[in-house]
Structure 1
């Protein structure tokens, strides 16, 4: 395992010739060398890859079994100078029974073998004709050849990670062995398979592997028989698939006339953090598994160049909150906005309220909040006029944002109000003795609190509730005014980070049938993010740009995801950010804003400790009643010191 907590795994599907062990071993060796040269810690081959899966009654031939045993010894010798762990499939004899096994080899030794537990004996499969179920194999049973031993309740310690092995059908049964393996510590599940191709089966297989990796909170590495297997009755295309905690990291192309191999880095540290956080994960662990320790520590322990994209063989998304299948963009936006709207609709229904008040600035957050509120009213069948949308121009409001706010309210058919705050704020400055020319925190926060006072009082007047517009990124950074825009009666954006806010507004623009609404939304998306609390420039452009002050939101959302979702250290977040944003931000810039992120995250917890209600829509939130509980006076020194030493 390297310093990022990664292990590099390879899934390979070589060309085979049924019953031609010499040919098969030569192809396996070639792919082992290739995987080792590419820095793989483990390479997995398909079920019965030493002999070929489709040997049928040839498995009863003594010379084929003996040839297999000698070939495994040959493979062990071959592995002695290869810094890699090898897992191949082979038929093995023990106690006058034949088992379909996965054989683990590394450092010149055959470490052990694991039998297939569930043997398919239906439709095109009749494995019970040749093999004995692994459940009938005594733990630690010696092979007839004394080559090694077979053990069904065994995990392997390889390169610093716990490895569990199941074979093909084991995955497809109601209670796969990998579930119990994972609960007893297996972090990577290897599956040696020989899955034939049928119409529609591949998509089911992909879903099955992704779901099993999610259920077991593990990495799942799958290698299936392919080129060269007999096509007498079946077709095998050689699927190689690597998944991690519900996500497919990579899969090979099907139906190509050559061997296949995919290599990915799997994040063991992330999996361990996730298992610790989800306390129910190991509740059913029974401790009945033996752990076989290997001498192999992994070949990728050296430091990696933090600036090299090619140093990591996995996709590092620069926008983890929005990264997904682009073909499902509309579906994903619709789902998230529906969760937001449903939460608000449920709240309005529960309190028997048909009136809401919302402040509209012409910026992204208030735009999304208004769109969500409109959708909630439509769900409830309530007239949109019950939404009182108020624009409150202040000292920094520009014509662009004011116009967009007004146009959007008109187009959505809500009740519109414009209440300028300038005179009230000046009166307040006079009352407290503040110089209006001093553009400090008092100058800015007085405007935010005046707006909140207007919204709250209008809610009292109309018998409604104030809809909060602040987002998750602002809460993380504390970029909100305490008892100002930090406060509302229900926050629909509370768990939506800034990058996702933009994504969702784009989704609304993409799906609306009204070209005027689309035009306004697209202009709002293009408007610089700003609280507009400082006077505008002479040309009426926005002078106060949030990202100039607190840093790029795409960086902060990346930091937030790494810290909150994955519990990564600052150094790991920094290293990953350097990869994800290569060519966009240099290391010094990333380091600077990472320090700002941690400093603000710790110092601004008091604002999150008294957050109003608001639904969770994604994998993380900062509600003190939800994902995040933290003392407001916690020390940040350990995290900041680590950043200083980067």
Structure 2
């Protein structure tokens, strides 16, 4: 009857500027799609060059190599008899566009440039690309290398759709789905039945449901089939693209890909009945053509997605989407990101200064989770993962048997003790290292600290003292910082040479463990052991990390975490009192971690300055704090924030998991030199507090 179509979408682990690997993964996905009977294959955004090329998009090389890959795809026999939809940058009339190129049997059908740019949060697309004008179609003159393959001089370039013999297909690109005037609205009213979306959407905690609901809503209102493709993995930056390729019809998801996976190429196919779309629209969405509606420019294609004998072909039925909990997301997302970084950096493992506290323990548990995922992938027959694992450990015959055993080969932890360290934190670190299987070391830094202070004393004739021993605040702070910075120096020394001492090749990547809330106030030493190669928890709140560790107790049977969770967070940089810790993080910061999370979201997501933040918090915290106490909290935060903002210019590259991250690099574009007195802003707060205390509340 010619009414059932099989279509394919995919998640690919592409890597910026890896044209060789990217083209291989694209061809593999097309081959899988064909094997599963698909007649249309959709891939992620900018899949040929990788989405994260950033300022490499300015380079003519990036455009040239993208066309060279396109030529390879056009010539490959794998791409025959299937409509292929691939993404790449293209320059048209000396302007760069983020484009989809649709081709069939060595002929380019159309080039669809992106019309709505993602220019918020971590995205800066207008820096490299211009948006195309809606409903405009022009002729694009193909490069000679492409003309030689296709025999075409020009092809349609612009906002147009494909009309095959049996249906009509329209394109959206990533952010266009999120916009209030999404192209699928007008396309649906004009009879387009299949919508495609090529995306590079990154993972944030608790974000997946937004994406799924948008796809469902796009087809619930006016019917239709929706194919969503997404990039997967770390393509060279702080974000992890989390897959979730899917197919929907008439408001229901019928096929779902994994959100977190170590599989580089995942193809999702679905067989759908176009008559379901037509009957859905006929009953619920009878077209009411508006006078200002401009019809889509259609490109006719002598090709059918359906066959003449498909009456017995089963169609995909609605499924229930499984959403991960936030704790599962923390366990899986950063773990996949770490693995991509490790295997692509060609290093031999990780080293982590393990203090026995919540933060470093969370980082250790994420590495353990990575080892669990690797063993599962190998057991499931993933030969690519096994090949990468063998290369990392330097053993071509190695087969990982258990996460704990693998952890011992690629993960080194060290407890860096000083005279200010307690036995409790030392034993907690040792116990956790034993349970996850890391190679663990105890390192005493007192000799190094005394050496550094000896140099200082020889030059100045003075020996600084801790506050507990009669020293000033400046002396106390300097003595804490020298311990923290020496730990960073020692961490890198052991990362470079610890494998050498065991007769093994390679070096280790140093992992950081500062959480997002500490970064907000700058509660860490610049260039201390929070300074590392990468930090998997730098975008995660302390509150979420505690919940994650509770999850790890049950999921991985890491009972050592129970004691870590009940211990008060402490830097252990000041002298002990009767052998016990007297310094705590929350006392040093002047507020709790839960209060910091609220303030961080108001600062970044709600875009609050000191006064507007105070106005919101007096209502949010009215049951626990007076207006005067709220004012004190707000002032203290902004003083700390502005004094320490310079630290964000050197913060370790962190996994981007929260939209209130203070990361200065490309995300939180604020100054790092402030007038820390905030005189005008604080005066407005004081006036409001004074007014609140003199006026009786209105009834």
TM-score range, shorter chain: 0.3 to 0.5
TM-score, scaled relative to structure 1: 0.48
Structure showing greater radius of gyration is: 1
TM-score, scaled relative to structure 2: 0.44
